[in-house]
Chains A and B, each alone.
Chain A
């Protein structure tokens, strides 16, 4: 520091300070556009039927157009809230789990420094009180799934929302848990109907179950193609499609997903592959990639990997298990819906998680997986903790696994991409040696 000098005079630039809300929305739009551009233009052989989805995200996050009108909107803050019940009341569920770095930063004020990016971003988005794609939120449902979600309920209330607390058990196998969760769903069905002033009956619930079932079947049809030796669709597109399910009109979504299926199936007939000949086949598991935080799938596929399967709550887990009804009576259907959401859940919040391991093993075998990429959001304790047992399982199966801890910050490219590229390179060497015998 210079000594004995006169203090310096401040110089100011004449400028207008931008309105905070407009600035926030501008940042969101920039973030969305950057990812959409990358997903759309940085890969060869794009599927033209994907244009619908690219445009949908642009419409919602860049142009901020509203999607649904004249129907009550039910915001959900976790995958565990049954869409079937909401559709049965002719209301629209919108999953609000958020993937924006801009929101992660603004929501950071509510949470400890090392906590889940998704929870922070969701709080940041709710704080804005202008939810992309949603005109007006009529209802908000928050489950007591993981600790951070559970504890953030009070912060959502602090922002000024009325929140419906949905109780969720932490043990999956016991009969008590099953009964407890069924009671939760029965109560939710009654409460939602009363609060929204909308009736639910046998016919409407059956048709809602079928509507969701059709969407699931479309996803399953698409996923079957990923089992093939030459995969016609990249994982980055699959994540975008499943992310759109969070908020899109379900019937339009199903129709557009089937259009992608048809184009991909035509590709299979032509023998065109979306990936390279030697691209390692990757199973993605862990914290959910939610638009626009698709940087990890993007990096994996930029590094010549191809995501052929995933086990995450923003994709596979949304569709994997179907409602299985014995008899189409009200009481049986509601319980069957409840069962689908508890039994099929492979979230790491449970005491034991043998189901997750079973599913990973099944995916590895049926999708012919070369390596696993496990992402945990920094501060997501359950995923961080379960990494250990999954690592052990992969060692036993002889499947290499890359564990990465990330958050929503976009500036992590260098180190992360180095790791991912090195992982893909090592899988390729392994495959080559296997071929050479």
Chain B
């Protein structure tokens, strides 16, 4: 049976999704991208293939996406993570209704994507170069507060009263702001909540550029952080659609595009 793979090589993690001919997910994997994107992506794919009991030859078409997309030489096609994210969100978010806005926070960027009623990208906005308000910023803040990134969500709900205000979401400047707040004897919990709300405000500003319509879908690694999800919902005043596995939406989109790309290339061969 033919299988299709989508590989999303991001700044922090490599996400791989393998689907079958009916677009069912048969395998998925998240691993660190480190400094050797290509090597780790290849290893990760080999491992995943082995885990689900197929061989690399069973994968007939691969689409790569993410920062490292061009490095993955075995890919039949590359696609930008914006297009892949849109395809993945439409599939993964089917049960939520028609998704018109996607908010994605990744390791080093954040973006908002506007979709039309058919799920096609109509516009998008991305943060500028720096890692302000992204997963990297959460890493830096957690490290300074001496807690694990996984604990951030729990911390958020233990904050007292009005959250603190963190003015800078820049990973570097925020650290000195956090030091200032610690110096004023604020609790870790309050600081964490402050960080989440500052990211939430920032991402909503970005999302407003593309327009907030219909179901708002939130994905990317930081969507695993329940505290951040709550902060964005509070700032938006509505509920977000969070997929079961928020990290793999873009890889899933690439896998779907791999399936389409394969049938397109086959039909072209038949024509010729």
Contacts and interface: CB of A to CB of B under 8 A. Distances in A.
A204 to B, nearest CB: 50
Contacts of A425: 79-80, 82-83, 121
A426 B128 contact: no
Interface in A403-426: 405, 412, 414-415, 418-419, 421-422, 425-426
Contacts of A405: 128
B80 A429 contact: no
B81 interface: yes
A400 interface: yes
Interface string B68-90: 00000000000111110000000
Contacts of B123: 400, 426
Interface residues of B, number: 16
B83 A412 contact: no
A22 B178 CA distance: 44
B80 A418 contact: yes
Contacts of B82: 418-419, 421-422, 425
A154 B129 CA distance: 32
Contacts of A430: 120
A405 B122 CA distance: 20
Interface in B112-131: 118, 120-124, 126, 128-129
A211 B158 CA distance: 76
B189 interface: no
Given A418-B80, A418-B82, A426 B120 contact: yes
B120 A433 contact: yes
A123 B122 CA distance: 40
B126 A415 contact: yes
A421 B65 CA distance: 11
Nearest to B82: A422
Contacts of B81: 418, 422
B96 interface: no
A426 to B, nearest CB: 4
B129 A412 contact: yes
Nearest to A433: B120
B245 interface: no
B125 to A, nearest CB: 9
Interface string A147-183: 0000000000000000000000000000000000000
A419 B121 contact: no
Contact of A422 (B67, B83, B129): B83
Contacts of B124: 419, 422, 426
A92 B12 CA distance: 54
Contacts of A422: 80-83, 121, 124
Interface of A: 400, 405, 412, 414-415, 418-419, 421-422, 425-426, 429-430, 433
